[in-house]
Amino acid sequence: MTNYLRIVLATCGLWCALACGAAAAERMNVLFIISDDLTATALSCYGNQVCQTPHIDALAASGTRFTRAYCQGTYCGPSRASLMSGYYPHATGVLGYKNPRPQIGDRQTWSQLFKDNQYYAARVSKIFHMGVPGGIEAGTDGADDPRSWSERFNSPGPEWKAAGDGETLENNPRGTKPVVGGNTFVVVEADGGDEVHSDGKTAAKACELIAEHRDEPFWLGVGFVRPHVPFVAPRSYYPPFKPYAQMQLPERVENDWDDIPTAGINYKTSKNMKMDLRRQRKAIGGYYASVAFMDAQVGKVMASLKDAGLEDNTIVIFTSDHGYHLGEHDFWAKVSLRDESAAVPLIIRVPGKQPAVCDSLVELLDLYPTVASLCGLDVPSHVQGEDISAMLDDPTVSVRDAAFSVAPMRKGFLLREQRWAYIQYKEDASGGIELFDCDADPKQFTNLADKTEHQDTVKRLQAKLAAKLAQVRNNDLP
């Protein structure tokens, strides 16, 4: 009997060792890198000829790069609350700058699911909303959700107060205004190195955490705040974009605003920001320098992953919370539902999978169920996104025929199909409608919503949008 027991115990021990070893091998880490206010059009892997982003390009070349990924809200608060909670903004009602915890109760956020499954779940800097630059200057937690993390780290930085040569471009036509804080177009060519700034500190902390936690499964969120305004970067990132006069403004057409409903004129424009052509060109150069600086920080984090020997055991995601206008239609910044603002860069690299470019429509909301399923975790039933992991094996796979995004600040809704972009303002469309044929008019210059021959398409998409919104609101929340 004793011998029998010994054999049984030994067999159990061996089985446990094998099973646990196999489980550990399957427990891939997750490295989630999110930039702030980054338009895909500013990245060289998405075709930009001026702004070179070699580190993000390298990630794209070794992963799947999505060309039609859309955010669910076109500014920080709702977009981040949505992708982390798994709910669309109109499901939770988080349309502003709050975390979604009061609305979701005990339901798990994306990182919390991993934390609850024995992962080390940490964030460095901005994952849920944080005010930039104010919250970054203060080094505070912003609209964070403490239950999402095992540990969290902020990265205070000087932002617009950084020493160097600064200029306020916005609402400063006479050039008399000093460099200011807030949500303002300011460019600072900063003295000193990367480590002076929030993103330099974020990269350093992320590298440290990867080395420290290399022997346990982790979900690490790394939030860079550039290229969000103020455009602040060390001087060394500026030479490719100077003199600023060489920066090319986007193609513009006469009377472009004539067919855009009032609500569709973006909240920041060349006109209301009083930016002349010199300032517009400098805004583009300053934005690009911030992107190049952020790209260099991505490179440091990727190098630390390689140094830790974790490249073959870590899913890497790179994205932004929404896009950005750099002068298209004389629009600047975010909020708009045009492609430059509602689309996001998205790269997903899963060990063992072939690099690819995927043109299928995807949403940031899809990250939570996709990454959870890739890591073998049960996806909570509340999650409203789709599992797109099949696209990582075959980029021709499609799981949705439209992406859905909102701009609550303008009561705007976007339904983006492969061909059509349908935008309406107010739920009854009384604030106006825009319809673009993105095959014929990829830069969205001609609003077809009033054209007789397109009334069937308008009606179809209006009904489809109403059905989508009803589906979003039909959920398990009280």
Site for Ca ion, rule CB under 5 A: 36-37, 76, 321
For residue 131, the minimal CB distance to Ca ion (Å) is 11
Element (H, E) at 17: helix 2-26
CA dihedral of residues 425, 407, 346, 221 (deg, nearest 10):
-160
Residue 413 pairs with which residues in a beta bridge? Answer: 406, 424
DSSP symbols for 30-49: EEEEEESS--GGGSGGGT-S
Closest CA relative to residue 60, chosen from 369, 364, 238, 302:
302
For Ca ion, which is the closer residue by CB, 27 or 144? 144
- Two structure tokens written together for 146: 């403490």
For residue 95, the minimal CB distance to Ca ion (Å) is 15
For Ca ion, which is the closer residue by CB, 205 or 334? 334
DSSP symbols for 298-318: HHHHHHHHHHTT-GGGEEEEE
For Ca ion, which is the closer residue by CB, 81 or 402? 81
For residue 37, the minimal CB distance to Ca ion (Å) is 4
Q: Return the axis-axis angle of helices 54-61 and 277-307, rounded to nearest 10°.
A: 50
For residue 126, the minimal CB distance to Ca ion (Å) is 8
Residue type, position 64, single letter: T
Question: Exposed, middle or buried, 29 (CB in 10 Å: 0-12/13-18/19+)?
Answer: buried
> DSSP secondary-structure letter at 326?
E
- Residue 316's contacts (CB-CB under 8 Å, 6 or more residues apart) are 31, 33, 59, 63, 302, 305, 347, 348, 349
For Ca ion, which is the closer residue by CB, 344 or 435? 344
For residue 322, the minimal CB distance to Ca ion (Å) is 6
Give the CA radius of gyration of the chain: 23
For Ca ion, which is the closer residue by CB, 72 or 304? 72
For Ca ion, which is the closer residue by CB, 101 or 334? 334
- Which position's Cβ is nearest Ca ion? 76
- Residue 306's contacts (CB-CB under 8 Å, 6 or more residues apart) are none
For Ca ion, which is the closer residue by CB, 135 or 432? 135
For residue 76, the minimal CB distance to Ca ion (Å) is 4
For residue 177, the minimal CB distance to Ca ion (Å) is 24
